[in-house]
Amino acid sequence: MADVRRIGLDEVVRQFQDLEDPRSTVNRRHPLASVLVIALLAVLAGAGGPTAIAAWAATKRDLLARVLDLPNGIPGKDVFRRVLMTLQPAVFQACFVNWLKSLRDASAATTGVDRPVLAVDGKTARRSHDRKNGLGALHCVSVWASEYGLSLGQVACAEKSNEITAIPELLRLVDIKGAIITIDAMGTQKAIAGQIIEGGADFVLALKGNQESLHQAVIDHIHEQWEDDFAGVKARRHQTREAGHGREETRTYIQMPVPEDLPALNSWAGLKSIGVVVSECVRDGKATDEVRYYISSLGVGVKRFAHAVRSHWGVENTCHWSLDITYREDESRIRERHLGENMAWLYRFTLSLLKQHPGRQSLVMKRRCCGWDDNFLLEVLAGARI
């Protein structure tokens, strides 16, 4: 078993071997790859920053000395802080490309899903602001492969910017070919739709007031067709019902071909269909309704459309909720931007590893087990039971 574990860690170390060390040559007492592997292991085991990473490493001195190159012993908290502050987030994230590809291929084989829904969505670390220095909270846009339970990429929004500028950069980082990309209304932009089509993927984009004329035209067309129960168009309808936790919810999905007179139709690359989702929820005897409209490059196939929309909504439960409950990301007070971005990526990547593990424990319990049991920790790192 020791040999298998060592091989697994050697493979992890190799992900960082070609990474250029950002530290001054006088501060390189600890190999960069070893520092980063310790950080990754510690975050899996429950650490949330450099101080906790160093504390965990000190308690695992014997294990780490056996499996990593540590000529000067266990690094202190200042080493982890300096490395994670000076390392460019995009460069750090690039080290995980091959690893993610391997995890993605394995998940595709396991799930049988060869055309995944990739949800592009943003999340704010709410307590990472620094009012004294005029720094807003860190807001990252990431790609979540819903069926795989994998975070495939992340880009932080620049100060005084928004997701519209971050999304194109993020899509360039991820292999989107063959996927279905879902984005909230903020990302419903002609250039982003064109980039998705050029990348060999399809899109399902939400509509709101930021595309006012398009949004209203879609509403008007769907309501006009609704008056005669869609007799004049090749519309398809799908309905689902869910009950639980004191709530009953009915969702009606309707999809139809895009009308030829839709405003600026030719400006939207690949646009083929429009859709609407009506959600009717009854909680504690009180009913609420919500209606959402979409444009898509998918042909009419309402169950596929419904699955894409539902998968995007699921990112809140399967990714963001886990980051807040399991990793306490909303409580993070890390204010230095590169350090915050790199920790945010370690949260998302280790969450992906935990989700790949076949055990039935909750994510919180799996992370605790990583801290308690070295075998379990290395098992999760390997992506399968040893």
End-to-end CA distance of the chain: 8
Domain ranges of the chain: 2-90+357-382, 207-297
Question: How far is Cα 72 from Cα 61, in angstroms, rounded to an integer?
Answer: 12
Strands 150-156 and 138-145: antiparallel
Model pLDDT for residues 49-65, shown as the tens digit of each residue: 999 999 999 999 999 99
What pLDDT was estimated at residue 317?
A: 85
What pLDDT was estimated at residue 255?
A: 98
Question: May I ask the CATH architecture of the domain 207-297?
Answer: Roll (3.10)
Distances (CA, A) of 124 to 51, 141, 331, 352: 22, 9, 11, 19
Model pLDDT for residues 14-34, shown as the tens digit of each residue: 899 889 999 888 878 999 999
In sequence order, the β-bridge partners of residue 278 are 252, 291
What pLDDT was estimated at residue 263?
A: 85
Contact (CB, 8 A) for 155 and 140: yes
pLDDT tops 70 at residue 6: no
Burial of 260 (0-12, 13-18, 19+ CB in 10 A): exposed
Question: How far is Cα 319 from Cα 299, in angstroms, rounded to an integer?
Answer: 28
Q: pTM of the prediction?
A: 0.91
Model pLDDT for residues 103-120, shown as the tens digit of each residue: 999 999 999 998 999 999
